[in-house]
Amino acid sequence: MSRWQSVPDPELDERLAAEIRGLAHGARLPDDWSHTELLPAVSSRIRAESRRSSPSRVAALAGIVGTIGLVAVIAAVVVSRLPGSWPGGPYGEARHGDFVLTISAAKPDYVAGEPIDVEASFGYDGPEDSVELSTSHPITSFSVREVDGALEMVGDIPGVCMLSELDRHQPLRRPFTKMGGWSRDDPNADFYDQWWRDPVFRLPAGVWEIVVHSEFHLGPGCAGERVTMEASIRLTIDEPDATERPTPGAQAPSPHPSLVPVPTQEPPLPSPSPSHTEQPPTVGNIRPIPPGPLGPRAAHSAVWTGSEMIVWGGTPGNDNVPVADGAAFDPATDSWRLIAAAPLVPRARHSAVWSGSEMIVWGGSAGPDGPSNGALADGAAYDPAADTWRAIADAPDARLSHSAVWTGSEMIVWGGWKRSDTAAADGFAYDPRSDTWRALPALPVAARAGHSAVWTGDTMTIWGGSGFGPANDFADGAIYDPADDSGTSLGLDNLGPRAGHSAVWTGERMIIWGGGRSRPLAGLPFGDGAAYQPVGDSWWSISLVPAPGRFSHSAVWTGREMLVFGGRVDSSSLPADDGFAYDPEALHDCADLHDLPPVSDDSNLDRENELAEIAFRDFQVVRIRYTDAACQTHPFLGPYIEMLLED
Amino acid sequence: MDRELLLRARAGDVEAFESIVLAKGESLFRTALAILGNEADARDAVQETLVRSWRSMASLRDPDRFDAWIGRSLINQCRDVLRRRGRVRDVALTDGRAHSPSLDGESAELREAFARLSVDQRSLLVLHHLHGYGVREIGAWLGVPAGTVKWRLSRARHALRVQLERGQ
């Protein structure tokens, strides 16, 4: 492929500098433009925002109006809305010191089965630039109570203690999220089963109270002052109009007398099944992987043996309880087979590598029933040829959410959580021939977990992840060279910080995909990624549109495709039980590439094979055979290819 | 930039931030104009940059790096402006440019070629040639390593040459 080369051209540089100066000063601005035009435009907006959100201004106003006016001012604070809440809809707020918790809905009345828009906001308005909070629960969780009935969906799932940093006047917003559970013994268990599995927030007819809770400790370590807050709103859910009733059989029957039919225009009530991500067929380099015999799965491991992808362990539900089963997927036949039971306790957030003859599983978390520090130090090796397992020596330390790569002779594990509040920046190497471990030095990057790692042939490249502390998610990485035990840091552009993503090595590039922000209330997982090529230290942004984002999934490289399996598409649904295969080398049909002018950056020609690798406006890189008629006559590609060929 | 002013603005002092707007506004506008090639777009980008900077002043950790911090925001806004207007490669050179001096043939070709570069490439070249920044300073503005800036600068120059040759 051709590569750009830098050719010094002082004369062109000089002309260009003059032109750019001409461009910058081409507009005649009035002398007092900043005062008369820019400042009024900016000031009107920032002063309006400042009035809405600054408690110091409210306090100052309270001082001016005196004791009589104080009640009115406080009332005004209670009903004032943080930016982003819906005007006109119900609104609730709670305050504790400098913390504000709000909840709002788009409107007060909904129809049974209609999706309900509710958002919570948790902010800090105190004097510090930011505050540190720690919590073993989500910072906010939602509950729903039937005002005149017995139904109550209580949200809350304990986890490991995590530190978050909250910036002043930068409230964290979170749309209504289901995170909780129910008891099988409950007389309304059938209703709860349906409701919790429904990815859409909707309710049967009645009056409902929607509550947002916040529980956290001031400072790190979940040891400081514990604060709990609660704000709520009420919504009225009406019976649907008879004319909007669905046709018979169009939805699941209601297990609860108060659950009315769902209008046909809306998605059907949930079926008790895992999330399947939609795989629209656009640009031809994505194909679906069918659900396997394991069911939903997240925080599992996967390796590529040369002919099969073996998936093992992980969590099938939303309760963080792991399992110890596994299955192998053969992409040649699109079929799955179960593998033998492992001599290991169930676990998730562990690692697995393929040594050439065995899958080595190590570390991880045994879930709520595991050791108190949460991490495991044992492992086992699986031989697919014999369908048998053998135990391996315990490592010197335990880890979870770490990374592991196979170097050709050793398994290197790096980073991860040592305990629930301590991430690591070092690792160990395991030699299966001697069944021994050796310690490795720390790399020149921040300690982290939930990162990715690939072996590039002679070095290990780690990237992303999250740490314990204000730094939170990372968008940097490091390269470790075992030949001399050296490490170098790795910068990154094009891709935002994330954890719970995947990375594979194609032989030429590292493809990073998916993941999400680990900070609480951070939203849905990413559906984008990037390809990093060590030669030239270059990055390509990639977007696997239309595959929806996932986190806590697995990915392996088959030599031709990246197989993505399981993971979560949001934090409330069950994990996915399916996956997709992404072929970055797949040739796209130019006739399918609509309305996407190519960008002139990151484009390459392979003249020998008549292939062009072109970055588009959304930075998705596609490969085409540029001699195809549809490419040459494409309104954007035609002239662009011509330009490239002239180069 | 006056450090005391920045600290006050970071603490929520609107008047202090307005002083920053007066001090920085025109420079930001000139930079945006060179990148976008359109006065209306440049005004939009600068206004939005300043309002967003006010909202996130609390996240400014190091006041000494304010120029790079707000500069990065400006580049992002320039990208957003173009994205919203649906113009990525072709920037109309005459839009809002009624006061532009007439250009000779060579100058017009160069300006046309420059306008056909991606917004990121134009940003790099503007930072380098308008402000005289080196690769480290540009890296700070863009939030990327100096090596990446060097590589991108060379590609931007190459792309400019390709456009110039194409126009001849």
ipTM value for the complex: 0.85
> What is the pLDDT at residue A357?
94
> What is the pLDDT at residue A83?
37
Name the residue among A38, A16, A24, A12 with its Cα closest to residue B37: A24
Cβ-Cβ contacts under 8 Å, A55 against chain B: none
CB distance from A87 to chain B under 8 Å? no
* Closest CB from B10, B26, B151 relative to A33: B26
Name the residue among A490, A483, A394 with its Cα closest to residue A451: A490
What CA–CA distances, in Å, run from B26 to A28, A45, B81, B119?
11, 19, 18, 20
Q: How far apart are CA A259 and CA A247, in angstroms?
A: 16
CB distance from B141 to chain A under 8 Å? no
* Closest CB from B96, B148, B162 relative to A647: B162
Return the residue in B20, B95, B158 with the most chain A beta carbons within 10 A, the one to mutate for interface testing.
B158
DSSP H stretches of helix in A10-120? 10-24, 33, 39-53, 55-79
**What whole-number percentage of chain B has pLDDT above 70?**
80
Cβ atoms of B143 and B84 closer than 8 Å: no
> What is the pLDDT at residue A547?
65
What CA–CA distances, in Å, run from B118 to A495, A597, A601, A647, B130?
18, 11, 7, 17, 17
CB distance from A599 to chain B under 8 Å? yes
Cβ-Cβ contacts under 8 Å for A3 (sequence gap 6 or more): A536, A604
Name the residue among B42, B48, B44 with its Cα closest to residue B70: B48
- Decide if B97 and A27 are in contact by the 8 Å CB cutoff: yes
Positive/negative CA dihedral, A365, A370, A372, A378:
negative
Cβ-Cβ contacts under 8 Å, B157 against chain A: 6-7, 9, 12-13
- Decide if A46 and B143 are in contact by the 8 Å CB cutoff: no
Residue B63 has pLDDT above 80, yes or no: yes
Which portions of chain A are predicted below pLDDT 70? Answer: 1-8, 49-88, 136-138, 156-164, 178-185, 196-199, 221, 241-285, 368-373, 420-421, 469-471, 491-494, 519-524, 535-547, 571-572, 594-603, 615-621, 646-647
> What is the pLDDT at residue A76?
21
* Closest CB from B12, B42, B125 relative to A56: B12
Quick one: tokens of A206?
């009645």
Three-class secondary structure of residue B62 per DSSP: coil
> What is the pLDDT at residue A273?
41
Residues A218-232: tens digit of each pLDDT: 877 677 778 888 899
**Locate tokens 């978050």: which residue?**
A164
Secondary structure in 3-state letters for A202-220: CCCCEEEEEEEEEEEEECC
> What is the pLDDT at residue A596?
60
> What is the pLDDT at residue A161?
55
> What is the pLDDT at residue A519?
57
Residues B77-112: tens digit of each pLDDT: 887 777 666 533 333 333 333 334 445 667 788 888
Cβ-Cβ contacts under 8 Å for A526 (sequence gap 6 or more): A496, A498, A501, A514, A515, A516, A549, A551
Mean pLDDT score across all residues of chain B: 78
> What is the pLDDT at residue A349?
94
